[in-house]
Amino acid sequence: MRCLIAVLLAGLVLPASGQVRVVSTDRLPLPVDHVWSAPRFSPDGTSVFVTTAGYRGIWRFTPATGSLLQVCDDAGAGFGFTVSPDGNRIAYRRTLEGVPMNRRVQEVVEVDLSSGEQVVMASGRDLPVPVYAGDRVLFDPSGTQKTMVPALVPGNAVLGIEETKIAAVVDGVPVHLDPYTSGSYIWPSLSPDGTRVVAYEMSRGMFVADLTGRVLAEFGRCDAPSWMRSGRWVVYMREKNDGHQITGADLYCVRPDGGAPVRLTDTPAIELMPVCSPVDDRILVATPSGEILVLTYREEGR
């Protein structure tokens, strides 16, 4: 993280009343020629993948070297891309340009990050985003949004959203979780210990459920939830808007079994779509102006 530019703004770090607090905020020194968005860590935490505000293209930034590698320049590639567990490959969905909308063509592409070699894995009119489950890319070659095949992966995994339901693999078996019966879900993710799911139901807000779909805790409007690597907290954003645009957004966290939320930030920056590192105590957020911030937090009493 030596190449990060520290954001030294007085009053940005709160001595949170809970057991988590943000201890520093840094800005990734990315070029200013793009409005960067949707950051995520590589599985080993050494790189950050980003796209642009319009989801065009994907880049990999390595803070230790300052290297910025453009993986692709495809339209729509930055929406829901996925990185292999070993960090060597990336898969995404692109929408081919120059094709009339009534004849839209999408492709699922896998890229070897070392060689840059691309392999088109599927083509169709309306493909779901791909996801790695283990070292396999799961996608729907027919374009009918039925990505899962029994026993493709051992153990548990959350694959995303299919027809508004949570697509998952539980003990190697594909399932669709619908905790609220005919619910409409976004932002699902599996807990680090693989036993619970956090997601957001459009009319009820954030909740945590077990892998049978039984709701364990409800939290109301808590946007873009992300598990801390310990599994003891879920980070989310709470935004303000004037009915037309976002005017503010700060980060909070809460225990997955309920309890009072802990405010992590109270800043002039608008901190959007938090994503926690899987290997250390960092959180990525984007701002509307295109900055990518890295917040380092401390869990106390672990």
The angle at the Cα of 96, spanning 94 to 99, to the nearest 5 degrees, equals: 150
Q: pLDDT per residue over 190-220, tens digit each?
A: 999 999 999 999 999 999 999 999 999 999 9
Which range, of 26-35, 52-61, 237-246, averages the lowest pLDDT? Answer: 237-246
Q: Which residues contact 249 (CB under 8 A, 6 or more apart)?
A: 237, 238, 239, 240, 270, 271, 272
Q: pLDDT per residue over 249-267, tens digit each?
A: 999 999 999 999 999 999 8
Which range, of 66-70, 168-172, 188-192, averages the lowest pLDDT? Answer: 168-172
- Give CA separation, 157 vs 99, 149, 168, 170, in Å: 35, 13, 6, 7
Give pLDDT, residue 43: 95
Give pLDDT, residue 146: 45
The arrangement of secondary structure in 5-299, i.e. its CATH architecture, is: 6 Propeller (2.120)
Mean pLDDT of 173-177: 87
What DSSP assignment string belongs to 73-97? --TTTTSS-EE-TTSSEEEEEEE-T
Contact of 208 with 215, CB cutoff 8 Å: yes
Q: How far apart are CA 239 and CA 250, in angstroms?
A: 7
Give pLDDT, residue 242: 80
pTM of the model: 0.88
Mean pLDDT of 63-74: 95
User: Mean pLDDT in the chain?
Assistant: 87
The structure tokens listed for 56 are 């065009």
3-state secondary structure of 186: strand
pLDDT at 181 over 90: yes
Tokens 């590698």 sit at which residue? 69
Give pLDDT, residue 264: 96
**Radius of gyration, alpha carbons of the chain:** 19
Mean pLDDT of 59-65: 96
Give pLDDT, residue 153: 59
Rounded percentage of the chain residues whose pLDDT exceeds 70? 87
pLDDT at 100 over 90: no
pLDDT at 87 over 90: yes
Pick 130 or 101 by higher pLDDT.
130
Q: How far apart are CA 195 and CA 101, in angstroms?
A: 41
Mean pLDDT of 21-50: 96
pLDDT band at 273 (very low <50, low <70, confident <90, very high): very high
